[in-house]
Amino acid sequence: MINPSSHVIEAVPSWRYDVVGCLWTSAGTLLGFHGAPILETLGAAWGFRHDPAQLRREEYYFPCPPGASLWEAIAPYHPVRSTWREPADAEEGWAQVRDEVLAGWPVIVAADNFDLPFRPAYQDVHTNHLVVVYGFDEARSTVRVLDAVPPRFDGDIAIKELMAARDSNNPELHARDMFFTNRPIANRWLEVEIDTAAFPAFDLDTLRRTIRSNLDGFRAESSVEAFVGAGGQRRYLRDVVVRLRAGETICDELFLVAGAVLAQTALHAAWLALAAQRFDIPRLAVAARSVERIAHHWSAVRIAGALTRNGEYEPARLERRFHVLVDDHGRALDELEFLLPSL
């Protein structure tokens, strides 16, 4: 059997939603490729979880409940699962990805933006990122890469450039190397399982069950080890202010935590708006706007947290920002709770 030196997978979609990062865009691409509904899958869950022991300096960081894979954490209501594969070195890393592409599967790989020529951070800033690989041409020494995160790229780069990005130690060398550095890329890639035949229908029963489950999750008891639910969210935000007042640097941590919550909240607002339109429920559209407002709060928190690095954002000001977020968040939950019996 001839082993071809080139192959490009056809009909690989590009998916992007504002304020979400590479974890979500790459997941959307693979879901779309497998014919699965993207927003219905990625937007269903809404909650809060922060486990300090899990925190990793990665652009695609997301806290996972015990025993759950990354994809099970971002899409807990759907039959999906992911497994991180960690090759021994760059050569094995490329061979594994190449085999996946030859088998007809686009592959999500981790990479350092410093070595990706299409990223604005190229040769300037190190950061831990995800892109999708779906083709290669060894005669031209190129690989086909899709990155839906702005400025968006869908084209060929040198195989050696991708291998360097995947094999990077991702060091923190200067003040611009923030948030997603000091964690080696290690040639990792995500093996993904998607059972589209078992996906739940997006109907009123699913809508009601999902909203009920999310609301119950916000009422969950927060443990000592992890900050969970609405109570855990309040406790975590209070803890951040206390630590900042004590002189602790919290900017990178808060940027990571807020980014994960921001993405999930924004997608859930869009999910609610989609349901409101599909099932003609105007009051649900109003609730969706309330949840969208919470996403904007988290966007502001992310910026504020970054500004604490140089003292531009003081603890008292950050505390006021948190109070507004928590108050509006409580009202959004109450709105959904009141609406649920009538759906």
Q: CATH fold of 6-198, please? A: Cathepsin B; Chain A (3.90.70)
pLDDT per residue as tens digits for the range 199-212: 999 999 999 999 99
Q: pLDDT category, 221, cuts 50, 70, 90?
A: confident
Model pLDDT, residue 183:
87
**What residues does each domain of the chain span?**
6-198, 204-342
pLDDT per residue as tens digits for the range 128-181: 999 999 999 999 999 999 999 999 999 999 999 999 999 999 887 777 666 788
Model pLDDT, residue 173:
76
Model pLDDT, residue 177:
60
- The strand ranges marked E within the chain are 6-8, 49-50, 80-85, 107-112, 128-137, 142-147, 153-158, 189-194, 227-228
Q: pLDDT category, 1, cuts 50, 70, 90?
A: very low
| Number of Cβ within a 10 Å radius of residue 1 | 3
Model pLDDT, residue 276:
98
For residues 49-63, average pLDDT: 92
CB proximity list for 172: less than 8 A, separation 6 or greater: 126, 181, 182
Is a pLDDT exceeding 90 seen at residue 37?
yes
Give one DSSP letter per residue of 57-98, joined into a string. Answer: S-TT-----TT--HHHHH-TTSSEEEEEE--SSHHHHHHHHH
Q: pLDDT category, 223, cuts 50, 70, 90?
A: low
Give one DSSP letter per residue of 111-136, joined into a string. Answer: EEGGG-TTSTTTTT---EEEEEEEEE
* Ramachandran angles phi, psi of 127, nearest 5°: -165, 150
pTM: 0.95
